[in-house]
Amino acid sequence: MASLAGALLAATSGAQANPSCDARPGADIYSAKCATCHSIVKDQPGTVGPSLWGVIGRRPASERGFAYSAAMSARKDRWSPAVIDWFLTDPPGRVPGTYMAFSGLKDAAARAAVICFLGTTSAHLK
């Protein structure tokens, strides 16, 4: 738990994809909804899902060392804030066949907060 807290603190103190957003609420939502499966620490794989470090701008199914579903592997877009928002609304509905069992974040403000937080870990945005 200490390493997660440290990672969240470090991530929320850095530059963000949207400098006008406050990453702290997104860090809290990430901790409650995402951290069980996804790492947010650089070079640390997730436990069930891929690491989300630097996810913005990355291609889906591109994190090495993780077995992706055929449905996710077939995606040709990039994880932009808009694509992440679209996906997080209903992962199994948006990408039928995904291994991600999470039902999604229905609240737009919660999705925006998580996207703000994820922006703090995207090295190319810093």
Identify the CATH number of the domain in which residue 60 sits.
Answer: 1.10.760.10
Give 26-41 pLDDT, tens digit per residue.
999 999 999 999 999 8
Give 91-110 pLDDT, tens digit per residue.
999 999 999 999 999 999 99
> Would the pTM count as exceeding 0.95?
no
Domain of 58, in residue numbers: 2-125
Closest CA to 123 of 73, 51, 65: 51
> How many independent structural domains does the chain possess?
1
Give 41-81 pLDDT, tens digit per residue.
888 888 899 999 999 999 999 998 889 999 999 999 999 99
Alpha-helix residue ranges (DSSP H) falling in the chain: 2-12, 23-33, 70-73, 81-89, 91-94, 108-119
